[in-house]
Amino acid sequence: MKFTRRRTTALTHRSRHRSRATAAAVALGASLLVAGPVAASDGEHEQGQQSGASNGADDCTAEERAELREAGDNFVLACQPGLDLTDMGPNSTSLAKDEIASSNNMRLRHNTPKQGAFDNLAALNSDLAFQGQYAYAGNYNGFMVYDISEPTTPVAVTQVVCPGAQGDMSVWNDILVFSVDSSRSDASCNSTAQSAANKSSWEGLRIFDISNPAAPEYVAAVETNCGSHTNTLAPSQDGKDLFVYVSSYFPSASFPDCQPPHDKISVVKIPIDNMAAAAVESTPVLFPDGGNPTGNYSRETSGCHDITAYPEKNLAAGACMGDGILLDITDRANPVVTERVQDRENFAFWHSATFNDTGTKVVFTDELGGGGGATCNPDIGPNRGANGIYDIVAGDLEFQSYYKIPRTQSNTENCVAHNGSLIPVPGRDIMVQAWYQGGVSVFDFTDSKNPVEIGWWDRGPIDETKPVIGGSWSAYYYNGYIYSNEIQRGFDVLEIRDPRTAKAKGLRMDVFNPQSQPSYTR
């Protein structure tokens, strides 16, 4: 099927820009201090704002590095010398600022701009979770609740202002789990940024009661080693407890609550009937040998970035900086690594994972440049900042192919593989995925060796003259529509109309956490 590009204007090649992601946050300026941490006194980054880009001399100026650090997530990874991005030619998209283009089977149905306390460049929209008629949309300053009972006209129900990046979220029954990976003065919603070198500093999980989605109630806080960059739910098999796998990384000897080697995760247990009693249950060591050492493009492993669980199959996949792993989670509190792979040729940072429905494949993502770099262009190529597709054969992960969006983005657009989910089409392996300012891509990986894009949607750059961090953080399929949390532009609702995905329209889920995959075929 041939897709046509819809556009109204074309741009000439832009002037040469540095492609380092370090420049991408410069446009955010001092306003980033609203949600970000303060620098540690020894000059290291705050835990949760990534201190790992320090092997040798940086490719960043001190000012650029400080601004990227304040932007959070992994953006400062672009400072690594010669690792991620080099000076490039004038790569150009043909889209003007905010102009929309797409394949002919995808369209935007609605956009809700950021509002209130989130309506600024420093308040980055992040992850999404769904339950019933509600979508829960994370932000570095808290979260939004949207009523999506009419998907093409979502209604903002409430905004919970509770600063503390990262804003990764999951929901289950009346429980909402919110990740804080920014060192704070205390666990409250009135906390301020404070150095992780201070023993009294706090970061970890905030737990809310969402029995009334219009008025979430903050009921508990659980401090975890190195904070919580992401969280993953795995309900107990008897349904009495909710286990949360907390991923975090980049320890420092100067951080009392985040000491090296940090080769572990935290497992938090939340009693379903008493969420206020949530507490750390265990801290299993996943890398007793210390994990992958820094080499070529890959990152040294000192924790995990994200874990995706498949509770019905007692299986999980971990994206752990320099390693991809499989885990047996039969014993929810004590997951065991059963397989481990590395890609020291092309992967820079193992970021996230998605199973196919049968649990026989895993799509791992590589967040080259930490999400702040312009990596979707011929200079970087098709195999870096891409997905790696692996078959699971007799318990082993076997590499099959890479997948990366085929469109060139401009040097002002941060673009790399990011969060996505399956589109539930029986008998096919089809995934929708966010690519930051690369937009949203839908691809079929039923043939693991030959993944094919079948739909896409994209906006032009936020700014044509200078890099600004933005784009789709998460793009997930839920009950007939694709929902995307756009970092700067707000909450998007997209629709794909294609015979290859049509069967998914009839499937309905009561709850959907993309990092806790359900089976839709059983």
Element (H, E) at 66: helix 62-71
Instruction: DSSP letter for 55, please.
Output: S
Sheet holding 100-102, edge to edge: 100-102, 452-459, 440-444, 430-434, 420-423
Q: SS3 for 468? A: coil
- Beta carbons of 131 and 122 less than 8 angstroms apart: no
Model pLDDT, residue 4: 32
Does residue 55 register a pLDDT over 60?
A: no
What residue has token string 């924790």?
A: 303
Q: Are 229 and 171 in contact (CB under 8 A)?
A: no
What is the average per-residue pLDDT within 132-144?
98
pLDDT given for residue 15 in this prediction: 28
Q: What is the pLDDT of residue 395?
A: 97
In 153-293, where do the E strands start and end? 155-161, 166-172, 175-184, 202-209, 217-223, 230-235, 241-247, 266-271, 279-282
Q: Contact at 8 Å (CB) between 124 and 487?
A: yes
Cα separation values, 454 from 286, 378, 389, 422, Å: 37, 21, 17, 14
Work out whether the CA dihedral 13, 14, 16, 18 comes out positive or negative.
Answer: negative
Using the predicted structure, report yes or no on whether residue 465 has a pLDDT greater than 70: yes
Radius of gyration, CA atoms only, the chain:
21
Residues 425-449, mean pLDDT to the nearest whole number: 97
DSSP, collapsed to helix, strand or coil, labels residue 67 as: helix
> What pTM did the predictor assign?
0.86
479: tokens are 């009950």
Which has the closest alpha carbon to 270: 311, 229, 220, 306? 220
The larger pLDDT score, comparing residue 165 to residue 487, is at 487
Backbone angles phi and psi of 300, in degrees to 5: -65, 135
Sign of CA dihedral 283, 285, 290, 293: negative
34 phi and psi, to 5 degrees? Answer: -60, -45
Q: Cβ distance 10 to 79 under 8 Å?
A: no
> Which residue in 417, 420, 418, 388 sits closest to 401, CA to CA?
388
The mean-pLDDT minimum among 65-74, 237-246, 417-426 falls in: 65-74
**145, pLDDT greater than 80:** yes
Q: What is the mean pLDDT of residues 416-434?
A: 97
104 phi, psi to nearest 5 deg: -80, 5
Instruction: Identify whether the C-beta of residue 206 lies closer than 8 Å to the C-beta of residue 164.
Output: yes
Locate 96 and state its tokens. 């003007």
Residue with tokens 């702040």: 372
Average pLDDT, the chain: 86
pLDDT(47) > 90:
no
Mean pLDDT (whole number) for 37-42: 27
Cα-Cα end-to-end distance for the chain: 31
List the one residue out of 452, 454, 429, 451 whose CA is nearest residue 504: 429
pLDDT of residue 60: 64
Q: What is the mean pLDDT of residues 390-418?
A: 96
Sheet containing 306-310: give its strands across: 306-310, 315-320, 323-328, 336-341
Length of the chain: 522
pLDDT 10s digits, 282-311: 999 999 887 777 555 566 899 999 999 999
Residues 6+ apart with CB under 8 A from 254: 40, 41, 42, 44, 196, 197
Q: In the predicted model, is pLDDT for residue 51 greater than 50? A: no
DSSP, collapsed to helix, strand or coil, labels residue 27 as helix
pLDDT of residue 294: 58
Distance CA 148, CA 391 (A): 35
Measure the CA–CA gap between 407 and 457, rounded to whole angstroms: 11
Tokens 């309900």, residue located: 235
How confident is the model over 83-101, as pLDDT tens digits? Answer: 444 444 555 567 899 999 9
- Identify which has the larger pLDDT, 77 or 161: 161
**181-198 residue pLDDT tens:** 999 999 999 999 999 999
Is 46 within 8 Å of 52 (Cβ atoms)?
A: no
